[in-house]
Structure 1
């Protein structure tokens, strides 16, 4: 009976969200650099897990997926200020979904969905409890499609780094692959191309989660070692989205 009541309440909340969706979309579009809302809704995020007792703690989070961001809010964005000030915001291209698993701590069919994000501090993981199969399909499809659309729309991202102790910019293009340009010298406007490689030449990539990124194109120069000011995980996750 409790589960039946849950489905009734869940259905009511979903219908209410649909009713206010145009209003939320308008506010997000106006307050967050014309970003279009692709998905939104309440989820339960895991905040603690006790290995000994296997007890999990959860908190409600209102998740909004736009065409370029994933926004975490503590309440629904019913005001302009709430639309503008999210608790946490990640670029969608720095995010990646992990395959869902069944929550074995319950007897009912609840799934756990993990979102991994590459940031300048390393990898951040958010785990959500998905109550219905419809919600699971809704979020996995929405996030996957949003990442693909963002790649085709943005086309290219740029990351400052160092190579052979030179200040450079590493370009990642969704069709052309990698290109490394040296920062222009004083008095020189144009940047000089140092090397360029297509995606298909990349044999392996690795990083130390600190500053060092290694790209192996099996070229004459060997493994390319690039140094970032912070963790290179943001680049790594962008690479997974583009490649």
Structure 2
């Protein structure tokens, strides 16, 4: 019976007689020791990873979580919090977490997720607030380091992790790393390495970012408010929506944040950055078709809107911003503007 399975051994004992002689041999409890679960957890802060992929992650003991098992001195793991993403609500809905006891921490590469389950929701809230405060403080340090590396040219106003909801992905949330400079809004799947930051942010090249747009083309159109009643699982999402003008049409992004403080900071920074980008750009020209004619729409910060013929440069109409009554678009290619005293809409 030494090489039999448990079910086979039970079956053999049941079929045996009334008296069964068993030979028992003492063996050390090597096979009875529990496997240390910490050895199976993966993270990005191993020495080889940091050495081969330069990033903004220093070997700072103050920016780590230490998980220690008292019975074994070697059962200890360190998880770097700098540039990680901590969420109170899992990005992938967990049917077992109906009590709201889970906290998720994603590594800066977004490849690894550390899921912590607390005893109750109150304890989960307390742990989340403490960890989130550390992550925010470390993010402020990383932002200062990036601007020091870039020499404030361009200046990075804000960066950090957000959760984005894609309409084409059945409304699921995904983690994105967003960087807002004085010139551009860049969206990544993970934290870019230092070489990538110098290449893209320092020289205004967007080669590897999943999405990018000039700062003046972004607009915050909707946010959740503190005054709304919070209903767990229904209205507890703190989010803001942006619309961005691109060559392919209007792109809408729905971003989720974890706290109202984050929401206020992101919205304020983006609005202020858009205004400053418009002041520095002063004028934007866009080719268009109006009444079956090829034209050019000019948007000037001080003079307003004007439409010129692409061929001869003939001025068709010109209005100040104060004359705009209403505007609209289909999100793809059509734009219509109604001016006060303009008679008909300008499509």
Category of TM-score, reference length = shorter chain: 0.7 to 0.9
- Name whichever of 115-124 and 171-180 sits farther off: 115-124
Flag structure 1 segments of 5+ consecutive residues without an equivalent: 186-190, 226-243
**Contact persistence 2:143–2:158 (CA under 8 A):** no
TM-score when normalising by structure 1: 0.73
C-alpha separation in 2, matches of 1:212 and 1:79: 40
Aligned residue in 2 for 1:127: 254
Q: How many residues align?
A: 213
Aligned residue in 1 for 2:223: 99
- Aligned pairs for 1:1-243 (under 5 A) are 1-26=123-148, 34-47=153-166, 57-82=172-197, 84=200, 85-97=208-220, 98-100=222-224, 104-106=231-233, 110-185=237-312, 191-217=313-339, 222-225=344-347
Flag structure 2 segments of 5+ consecutive residues without an equivalent: 1-122, 201-207
1:42 is paired with a residue of what secondary structure?
A: strand
**Contact persistence 2:249–2:333 (CA under 8 A):** no
C-alpha separation in 1, matches of 2:242 and 2:336: 24
Q: Which has the higher contact order (CA 8 A, sep 6+)?
A: 1
Q: Return the offset for 1:171.
A: 0.5
What's the Cα RMSD here?
Answer: 3.1
C-alpha separation in 1, matches of 2:339 and 2:165: 39
Q: Return the offset for 1:9.
A: 1.6
C-alpha separation in 2, matches of 1:193 and 1:29: 43
Q: Return the offset for 1:143.
A: 0.8
Of Structure 1 and Structure 2, the greater strand share is in 1
Aligned residue in 1 for 2:74: none
C-alpha separation in 2, matches of 1:119 and 1:80: 27
Q: Return the offset for 1:184.
A: 4.0
Sort the Cα spacing of 1:112 and 1:125 in 2 relative to 1 into closer, same or farther, 3 A: same
Aligned residue in 2 for 1:234: none
1:77 is paired with a residue of what secondary structure?
A: coil
2:274 is paired with a residue of what secondary structure?
A: helix
Sort the Cα spacing of 1:69 and 1:99 in 2 relative to 1 into closer, same or farther, 3 A: same
1:223 is paired with a residue of what secondary structure?
A: coil
Task: Look at both structures and tell me which one has the larger radius of gyration over its CA atoms.
Answer: 2
2:185 is paired with a residue of what secondary structure?
A: strand
Moved over 6 A (4+): 48-51
C-alpha separation in 1, matches of 2:242 and 2:282: 23
Q: Return the offset for 1:163.
A: 2.8
1:196 is paired with a residue of what secondary structure?
A: strand
- Name whichever of 122-131 and 99-108 sits farther off: 99-108
1:224 is paired with a residue of what secondary structure?
A: coil
C-alpha separation in 1, matches of 2:317 and 2:257: 45
